[in-house]
Amino acid sequence: MAAPAQTPILLLADIDEPGLATREVYERRGGYESLRRALAMTPEQVLAELEASGLRGRGGAGFAMGKKVSFLPKGSIEKYLVCNADESEPGTFKDRELMQKTPHTLIEGIVIASYAAGAARSFIYIRGEYVLQADVLDAALVEARQAGYIGENILGSGHTLSLVVHRGAGAYICGEETGLLDSLEGKRGNPRLKPPFPANQGLYQGPTLINNVETLATAPTIIRMGGAEYAKLGTETSTGTKVVSVSGHVQRPGNYEVELGIPSREIIYGLAGGPREGRAIKCWFPGGSSSPVLTAEDLDIPYDFDSLGKAGSMLGSGAIIVVDDTTPILDVAMKTAKFYRHESCGKCTPCREGTNWTVKMLERIDAGEATPMDLEIMASVQEHIIGNCLCVLGDAMAMPIGSMIAKFREEFEAHIERARMLRGVSDVAGSDFALAAQGALQEHPDGRLAPIGAGEQAPGEHRGEPGTQKGGA
Amino acid sequence: MPRPQPNMITFSVDGREVRAPENMMLADAAKLGDVEIPVFCYEPKLGNPVGACRMCLVEVEGIPKLQTGCSTPVKDGMVVYTQTERVKIAQQSVVEFLLINHPLDCPVCDKGGECPLQDITFGWGNGISRFIEPKRHFVKPLELSPLIAIDRERCILCYRCVRFSQEISEDYQLVLLERGAHSYVATFDGHPYVAPFSGNIVELCPVGALTSRPYRFRARPWDIEGAGSVCTLCPAQCNVTLTVRDERALRVLARDHHEVDDGWLCDKGRFGYESFHVEERVTEPLLRDGGQLRPVSWERALGEAAAGLSRAGSRSAALAGGQATNEEALLLARMMREALGSPHVDSRRGGTLPLELHRALGAPALQARTSDLEFAHAVLVIAADPVNDAPILDLRLRKGIRRHGMSLAVAMPGDTSLDAGAAITARFAPGQAGAFAAALAAALRDGDGDGDGDGDGEDELRELVGLAGAEIGVVRELASLLRGPDREDDRDAAREVVILFGERLTSGPDGAAGATALLQIAQRLGLEGIEGAGLLEIPAQSNGRGLREAGFLPNGGAGLSEPPAGEGKDARAIAEALAAGELQALYLLQSEPLQDLPDAQLWERALAGAGTVVAHANFLTDALREHADVVFPAEVYAEKEGTIVHPDGRIQRLRPAIARGSGVGGAGGAPSSASEVRAGWQVICELALRLGLDLDVLGATMASRRLFEAVPFYEGLTLEEVGGRGVRWQERDAAARFPPGASVPEQAPALTAREQQPDPRELAGFRSVWDAPEVLHSPALSFLYPRRELVSG
Amino acid sequence: MTPRGWDTPADLEKDPATIPDPSEVEVPAALREEIEQHMSHYPDRRSATLPALAAAQRLHGWCSPEAIEQVASVMRLTPAYLESVASFYDMLETSPRGRHSIYVCTNISCSLCGADELYAAFAARAGEGVGEEPLNVRSFECLGACDIAPMASVDGVYIGPLTTEDVPRVLEDLRAGRDVLPEKQLARRLVADPHANSREFPEHPVHRLTLPFDPEVPPERAAFGPPMGALEEDAADPPAAIEPQPEHHEEDAS
């Protein structure tokens, strides 16, 4: 195993220990000790620890958690804490593992954060598809309430907190914090205009703290270690450890806890085993499908917020999707675009129409009805989406698609040309390029297009089957 | 909540320094500097901006991302650019995105020529389209309701219509279904969108997706002209613009007036114009001949009317209906009093109210404005059901609750559409509004309202609550809501309370008691003189307030003066006297007593007993067909010239929009040559002349001048001053000449015992505004007529 | 795809759809009780919209007009409001569907591992149905289980990685009312990170939950799958609140 042995495991430590989801086992392992310690402190002291930890949000935006808490107005007005458990970013499944296996860590984190924020009501908004995880949380919640960790005057501290596990019903956009709030209020999950920010006017118009599952689940660790100690992990601006979900064309997909700042290569190759024997990485999404793609050349970039940002992408939710060289970039673009079209709430124009238009253009490319000029239009449409939408969903399509066009322009152009050949409308019939394309086509009597240079494809077992899939959704 | 006081700041837009109220949205503030920021979804009337269409992106110095002008509050020193390359590209791209699925069927679209999408595409679009995929196509147009057609291809999903349904009218019937590019506007399971204010969505739609079915394909924007007037189909008197083509009203649009209608119209006001041009309308003078009403010349009709009235002399009486103008009322009252010597004129429906109580209730210091309903801390709606009495006020109250945290209390015998949003809903027995008001007044006297009972006060309160058939707890709760939580601690805080009451409260045997109790409530809450607080009456008739102020009361002359010919009989007494043969002639100025007044049976006998019935009418009803001897065709409001008075004292001007009686029954819209409708003031003057009285009025403006001379507190008013937006007479110096009213007694008013009350069903004579000939006779609206009960909830 | 309703006019014979008169809508008592309980959890009753619609869908199979009217009547909301919400969310069905659902994830990661073929294989057999009802096979966006790609959620139970050869077994299990493909259920899997567990742990047994009684929060049933009753554990499974028995690791408690 190439992974560094010194990687501290905080969140996933012995996560498969039988019974960890029960209070009994959790407490035996020291669970809820952090809560006791926090409640013995003042809320300001707890907040100071959270701020000192430098913990950045693990949901996607990477905003400093302590700062977020500090934005809530002080005073006696009713405040809310909402845990964003609507984990829907393609490639992300870390919160699922945490909630399912150690629900009490999340509950403990929620109580600690609510104490720091002065919130008396809290909600876990969990995506409706996570049936098992919601059931586990509900069961753990009953236990926590029976033990007095949730309810009135928690452990005699005077702090009161109610907690409701609220199940969503299938909408990616509800992972966007204001869409989530509308959904939690029983409406369509349309994002709201910001400002006002949830810290001032969130749930039921009240000040609201919204944090991701992993973020809140880290709070007990921070209280246990002390914020300053926690901040020593990771890099200066990306402190701590992070659970990274790795999936796609890797040999060992799954969740890995890493110290932020380790080379990306160590995660993809060292932990997840890299692509199948004999395959190379074509591109990878470092932070879910909303992050601009990187290529094999970028594997040595440290896996942290700032380094990935500097490389033109982002850490996002910490979900690495690896695509190997057997998959046409058009397929990746198509899946990505179709996903965002499907999930666009429809409220703002550039996102609603831009995602729709992008899919139509990609379909046209695939059908051999496009010209290289369409690539320009597609690139310009992405530019017109970025920064002009109500929320980040439009950008979440436009940035990866834009990055694919920028980084794989030649392959797109080749695809356009070959698809036109197939339709018999190419202007360059007879050219070297067209002949090469013709050759590629002959290798696939079923008429599907494979990426140039993909070469022979071994009829391997399905896990490693090169993805030449089309459409489907 | 008291109104916010704007703080003026200076900001810069495209290099111009502009003064604007702080926190005004950029899209509005830029206009003050003559800079237009294009918008689709933004409509301030709909409440907080949603920032959905992204059309209004602009650059604000210091903020890296482009900002939506609709949602960026302007601050002092802000520097805004709307013309930079970045902004231009962003705006062009939004136009391009919007046009992706918009069919370019402008040549056959009703909106073409007055379409924001067309205008903005022209002004801010790129001029070319790069979208070559097929556009979506759907069946169109489809019925959304009997009044509205929907064309889903044209929809740009701006959310305006659904926001209206959900946040303004709060009927939650019109929604978006599905999500993303598949979203579409619809109702539940194919039900029609039928609601009192549904027509507003047509006007809100920035494209041709929602169109008025009665207006579809009737005209193009270059065929029409707009004419401003005031709708007199209910007491709310909304400001309207009539769309006129060839002297025919084809459409009614809102002419936004924050102090009157807040920019909305009800469906009756919006579609009732169709009744102007239907065959059922009376367009020529009629005379009873051989038991039948037959058309005759004006000469003959006037002569016969004069003869009949002259025969009856002082044994004549007159009633004025809500659509009559102040001028008509003034002139007719003078004719009755001076030419015929009859004091028997009435415009109220519920009996005489002592003149000093009229004066006390109308005291300028005690009058609330319409907009106060929205900004008050609390509003009590008592003996009124806004959606049925003055629909547009229903929206205003909802707005107050939703946007300004106003607390609403509703006191009515039955359920109302406002109950859901009310902090308190109080109920009392039918007909016991006066007793309820007296109980509330007693509860307010009960000191701190803690319910500990102050000896006699407690007994009195219990007795009154029992008489009213109300609950004592609710009355106390209501008292403390109105008094406000901090009254004891903070006596200086002026709590703005508005009491919106229906004429029912001052009607019937307990009318005077109701009025007195109301004055006590106002006094005990200290409403007099508090800016933003006061009383607001919804009269039973559209121009009820104006008719009274013009002197059309049995016990009051012009300007609520002592009646010049002595006190006359009220409507009910007139009916009894006619039935008994004590009175002989009756003049009906746009009044149909069987429809407008209680006790239809009595009126049937009264009309049968009258020797002469002269009716100035728009439509014939069974009663008029049977009993009228002479019928003069009356003008509809779109034809009238004159003034009316809004319930809050705003004098508003009617201006003729179409030629009198034009296009009636004619399909082509050409003025009908048969039309012989004459101006109301003119008919009355000619009749008076035949009765020997020269009213000295030669034109409509002269009639208005006579009015302004006759009413002391209108003194010095001119039509120019009234203008297009009206003027509240209370806000002019002449308001000081308003006559002083009754002093408010300390003890509770005497009330009629419950057993002696008339049958409450008689009060059903208060009709919903939806139960009206304009609804019945407008082809598009007539579907509502059988549902008028449904609308009234 | 043309959404239902694009091309349909309003039926002008119908009355407007306002908040239903409670006396005119018959609501099954259990549904009413469940919705009212949900409403009691929130400061604003409207927050219970999603759980209430989910409950109605469990009862009716989909959010039919009848189901929506029942929810509207209990929640005092207009049916249009509820329909608008229901049509926004993928898991709420606004057209008739079978009660049993198979969501096949066809998002990127699963697709890279063959999910489109898997979906096609399920879809080809959807017509066979389960019992009297059709089978609701849907291609779904990322279900958050890319580690078991390609995968599917069968009545809310995650299984994977699947091959097309698993399709017949899944359908058989579903028809027989058995636990679906227990050996491939996500619930059993250990975390992938080799450093996470300091020692060997057994694979998790496939477990069901029986919640300890708590009067404050009613045991919430699986939101969209069949009711928990249908998932009641068989006798072999442990009776504890949540699996498994603690004796395995007592020695580690410190």
A319-370 per-position pLDDT tens digit: 999 999 999 999 999 999 999 999 999 999 999 999 999 999 999 999 999 9
Tell me the pLDDT tens digit for each residue of B601-616.
999 999 999 999 999 9
d(CA C195, CA A254): 13
- Closest residue in chain C to residue B186, using alpha carbons only: C5
> Phi, psi at residue A397, to the nearest 5°?
-90, -45
Average pLDDT over residues B368-385: 96
Taking the C-alpha atoms of residue B695 and residue B334, their distance in angstroms, rounded to an integer, is 8
> For the residues of C32-63, what is the DSSP string, one character each?
HHHHHHHHHTSSSGGGGHHHHHHHHHHHHSS-
Q: Reading across the β-sheet that carries B57-60, which strands appear in turn? A: B16-21, B8-13, B79-81, B57-60, B67-68
User: Out of A17, A21, A343, whose CB is closest to C249?
Assistant: A17
pLDDT band at B3 (very low <50, low <70, confident <90, very high): confident
Residue A103 has pLDDT above 80, yes or no: yes
Instruction: Reply yes or no on whether the pLDDT at A111 is more than 70.
Output: yes
pLDDT of B621-664, one tens digit each? 999 999 999 999 999 999 999 999 999 999 999 999 999 987 77
B187, B419, B789: best to mutate for the C interface, most C CBs within 10 A? B187
Between the CA atoms of A259, A260, A261 and A264, what dihedral angle is there, to the nearest 10 degrees?
A: 90
Name chain C contacts of B186, Cβ cutoff 8 Å.
5, 80
Q: A239 to chain B, minimum CA–CA distance in Å? A: 27
What are the phi and psi torsion angles at B432 (to 5°)? -105, 30
Pairing of strands B8-13, B424-427: unpaired
Check CB contact of A353 with chain B, cutoff 8 Å.
yes
Interface touch C6/B192, C-beta < 8 Å: no
Beta carbons of B130 and A377 less than 8 Å apart: yes
Give yes or no for a contact between B373 and B752, defined as CB atoms under 8 angstroms apart: no
d(CA C29, CA C74): 11
Mean pLDDT of A233-255: 97
**Rounded to whole angstroms, how far apart are CA atoms C240 and C48?**
30
Chain A residue with Cα closest to C203: A16
Candidates A98, A180, A112, A169; CA nearest to A140 is A98
Q: What are phi and psi of A49, to 5 degrees?
A: -65, -45
- Give me the phi and psi of B2, to 5 degrees please: -65, 155
3-class DSSP state of B253: strand
How many A-B residue pairs are in contact by the CB < 8 A criterion? 88
Best mutation target, C39, C141, C148, to test chain A (most A CBs within 10 A)? C141
For the cut 90, the answer to whether the pLDDT of residue B757 exceeds it is no
Q: What is the mean pLDDT of residues B548-571?
A: 96
Answer yes or no: do B190 and C14 touch at CB < 8 A: yes
Name the amino acid, one letter, at C166. D
Q: Is A457 helix (H, G, I), strand (E, B) or coil?
A: coil
Q: Which ranges in B667-712 belong to alpha helices (H)?
A: 680-690, 700-710
Nearest CB to A204: which of C43, C196, C249? C43
CB A257 within 8 A of CB A11: yes
Q: How far is A375 from chain B (nearest CA, A)?
A: 12
Q: How confident is the model at residue B159 (pLDDT cuts 50, 70, 90)?
A: very high
pLDDT of residue A472: 33
* B416: DSSP letter: -
Burial grade of B469 (CB within 10 A; 0-12, 13-18, 19 or more): middle
H or E segment to which residue C242 belongs: none
Give me the residue from A345, A346, A353 closest to B97, CB to CB.
Answer: A353
**Among candidates A131, A146, A289 on the partner chain, residue whose Cβ is nearest the Cβ of C224:** A131
For residue A347 the two structure tokens come to: 């409220």
Which of A131, A320, A457, A468 is most worth mutating to test chain C (most C CB atoms within 10 A of its CB)?
Answer: A131
- Cβ contact, residue pair C91, A21, below 8 Å: no
pLDDT range class, residue C211, cuts 50, 70, 90? low
Rounded CA-CA distance B14/B20 in Å is 15
* B733 token code pair: 């110096």
Q: Tell me the whole-structure pTM to 2 decimals.
A: 0.92
Peptide bond into C150 cis (omega under 30): yes
Question: Which tokens sit at B193?
Answer: 């969108």
Q: What mean pLDDT is reported for chain B?
A: 93
> A473 and C194 in contact by Cβ < 8 A?
no
Distance of CA A188 to the CA centre of its chain: 22
Longest dimension (CA), chain A: 83
The answer to whether residue C219 scores a pLDDT higher than 60 is no
Strands A121-126 and A162-167: parallel
A254-259 vs A241-248, strand pairing mode: antiparallel
Could you read off the pLDDT of A190-234 as tens digits, one per residue?
Answer: 999 999 999 999 999 999 999 999 999 999 999 999 999 999 999
What pLDDT, on a 0 to 100 scale, did the predictor assign at position C3?
53
What pLDDT shows up at residue A152?
A: 97
Q: At what angle do helices B571-579 and B600-609 cross, to 10 degrees?
A: 50
Instruction: Look up residue B621 and give its two tokens.
Output: 């009803």
User: Which H helix or E strand runs over B614?
Assistant: strand B612-617
> Which of B491, B368, B389 shows the shortest CA–CA distance to B410?
B389
State the burial class of residue B131 (Cβ atoms within 10 Å of its Cβ: 0-12, 13-18, 19+): middle
Q: Which residues of C touch B (CB under 8 A)?
A: 1-3, 5-12, 14-18, 65, 68, 77-81, 83-84, 87-88, 94
Measured between alpha carbons, how far is B310 from B140 in angstroms, rounded to an integer? 62
Would you say residue B761 has pLDDT above 60?
no
Q: Tell me if C7 and B139 make a contact (CB, 8 A cut-off).
A: yes
For the cut 90, the answer to whether the pLDDT of residue B219 exceeds it is: yes
Cα(B481)–Cα(B409) distance, integer angstroms: 8
Spatial distance between the Cα atoms of B326 and B332, rounded to a whole number of angstroms: 10
Best probe of the B interface among C6, C24, C69, by most B CBs < 10 A, is C6
Pair type for strands A208-212 and A162-167: unpaired
| Lowest model confidence (mean pLDDT) among B502-511, B690-699, C25-34, C157-166 | B502-511
Instruction: Indicate if the pLDDT at residue C248 is higher than 50.
Output: no
Task: Indicate yes or no: CB of C10 within 8 angstroms of CB of B179.
Answer: no
Average pLDDT rounded to a whole number, residues B443-451: 66
CB C211 within 8 A of CB A119: no
Question: Which structure tokens are listed for B143?
Answer: 């019925």
Q: What's the pLDDT score for residue C76?
A: 96
Spatial strand order in the sheet of A208-212: A162-167, A121-126, A80-85, A208-212
Which residues in B lie closer than 8 A to residue A352 (C-beta atoms)? 97, 157, 180-181, 183
Query: Looking at beta carbons, which pairs linking B89-93 to residues 24 or more positions away fall under 8 Å?
Result: B89/A384, B90/A384, B90/A388, B90/B54, B90/B57, B90/B66, B91/B38, B91/B55, B91/B57, B91/B124, B92/B124, B92/B125, B92/B126, B93/A350, B93/A381, B93/A384, B93/A388
Per-residue pLDDT at B26 exceeds 80: yes
Question: How many Å apart are CA B527 and CA C214, to the nearest integer?
Answer: 53
Beta carbons within 8 Å of B655's beta carbon, 6+ residues apart = B227, B228, B229, B641
Residue matched to tokens 């939580």: B485
Contact: A388, B54; criterion CB under 8 Å:
yes
- Name the average pLDDT for chain A: 90
Instruction: Tell me the C-alpha distance between B150 and B242, whole Å.
Output: 23
Q: What per-residue confidence (pLDDT) applies to B4?
A: 79
> Which band of pLDDT confidence, cut at 50, 70 and 90, is reported for residue C229?
very low
Structure token digits, residue A298? 């970028």
**How sure is the predictor about B767, in pLDDT bands with cuts at 50, 70 and 90?**
confident
Do A94 and A137 form a contact (C-beta atoms < 8 A)? no
Cα B514 to the center of its chain, rounded Å: 24
Q: Longest Cα pair distance anywhere in chain C, in angstroms? A: 74
CB contact burial B480-497 (16+ within 10 A = b; e otherwise): bbbbbeebeeeeeebbbb
Q: In the 8-state DSSP scheme, what is residue B733? A: G
A338 CB neighbours in chain B (<8 A) are none
- Residues on chain B touching C73 (C-beta within 8 angstroms): none
